Structures are given as structure tokens and as C-alpha cells.
Structure 1
């Protein structure tokens, strides 16, 4: 499961985020302070998705931990986008479990950590491949 893509697609599907951030949602890439003339969102995996919740000798979910950061030059915009990110990830099943808000060199940063379990999407392909082995 490509959790990064799932989070990215959910964020760009949100009208407010798409309007404010558009093509400045990045994985792993942090902008230089001088480049933050418009809002940025950075998706940063803090751990690899781990198998969780087992039944019938197989795992059912991925336990995920991600940090989503909003960087802007405006405190209110940073807060609004951070809250919207929270709402979008809540709908995916990822719950905020920490974070920080800071200001440095003219940039406001809202960094929130999200943890949750996402159900596997590949059960049909696993069943097909197991039947071929029999």
C-alpha cells in the first residue's frame, strides 16, 4: 500500500488545500526559508507502515506514523491549513497524536504527527495467488 500517495491524493482533493498549496505538497523535501513565498505542505513518514491486527495467520492493517508540516509566512494561514490537514487525515483514519507550532526566520510552521491503522487493499490478489499455489 502506498500510504504516501494515499495521503497526498486526499490532501490535493481538498478544495481549500488545493487552492492554497496546489503543486507545493512534497514528500521529504523541505523548502529553504527564502523559497517560502507561498504555503508548502511536507509529508514525512516517521516509520514504515507496519503489519498489525492479525487474523487467520495474516495481517489485516498497516500501522502508520506520519508527520505533516505546513509552512507559510502567515500565522493564520498556517493554522487554517494545519486544521484542514487534520480534518483530511481524520477521514483517512489517521489520528493526530502530537505536534508543534513554531516561528523562525519569518516562517510559521505547524507540524502535526498522525498515527492510525489502514486496512490492506490487496486481499483479493492474495487470495488469487494462494489459489494458484494449491
Structure 2
């Protein structure tokens, strides 16, 4: 993520979304960027696996210098639903999230008896700093 961002221009959800949809290997596993959603999965897509959903959990001010906030401490939830490869897709996402210094915590695994899909949900936490030159 080489784009320069001011503190209030930072969108952790969009940073992660762009990271995922622009990765050829992940899109090969998922099928296309049309399988990746922010916040919620529209009903008409809920049974067309694989499905990837991202949503923010927390975004707290962090990293201060000279009494000015420099960044955000972010927690994102990324869920993968698939009939067979949920873990493989989730592990690729884990690898990608590490490239922006987001670390995984709180995994959730479950089987949905209505859709017969496996859910692999993981939370990621990281700090995104603003460009110092844009703070002044």
C-alpha cells in the first residue's frame, strides 16, 4: 500500500478489500472479485460459494507524537464460506494480511447446516499510520 494517506483518509476496510481483490492467486481460489463483499453478502450470493466477507470490528486512535494522533489500531473480521476450500482460501488471506502487518487472532470455524458451507472466520489486527507530512 504505497498510496500516501492522511489520518482521516485511512479506510482500513478498503485497504484490506483492495489487497484481496487485486491478488491473482486469491482470485483464482475465489473465482473473481465479485465473490468478495464488504459488510454483508447479498441474499442472491449467499449460496454461490466461495464467498468472502470483510467487515470492521474496531478502529481506535493510536500512535501519538507531539499530542497528535498518527494512526489507527484496526480490527477487521474476514469470513470465508465454501463447501471445500474455506481453510485454503482463509490461509491465503492470512498470508496477504501479513504483508500489511495485520496479525490474525480469534478464529471461528463452523458448518452451516442450511447451506452446507464451511465458514472459516478470522479477525485481523494491525496499525495503519498516516503520512506525517499530511498531518500538518
TM-score by length of 2: 0.82
Asked if the contact 1:17–1:84 (Cα under 8 Å) also holds between the matched residues in 2, the reply is yes
Task: State the Cα distance separating 1:101 from its structure 2 match.
Answer: 0.9
Gaps of 5+ in 1: 128-134
Task: State the Cα distance separating 1:33 from its structure 2 match.
Answer: 9.3
CA RMSD of aligned residues (A): 1.8
Q: What do residues 12-33 of structure 1 show as CA deviations (whole Å, max 9, x unaligned)?
A: 1222211232111101113559
CA distance in 1, matches of 2:75, 2:51: 20
Question: Larger relative contact order (C-alpha < 8 A, sep ≥ 6)?
Answer: 2
Q: What do residues 33-70 of structure 1 show as CA deviations (whole Å, max 9, x unaligned)?
A: 983233110001112x2110111111122100111000
TM-score by length of 1: 0.83
Task: State the Cα distance separating 1:9 from its structure 2 match.
Answer: 0.7
Identify, as 1 or 2, the structure richer in helix.
1
* Residues matched between the structures, number: 123
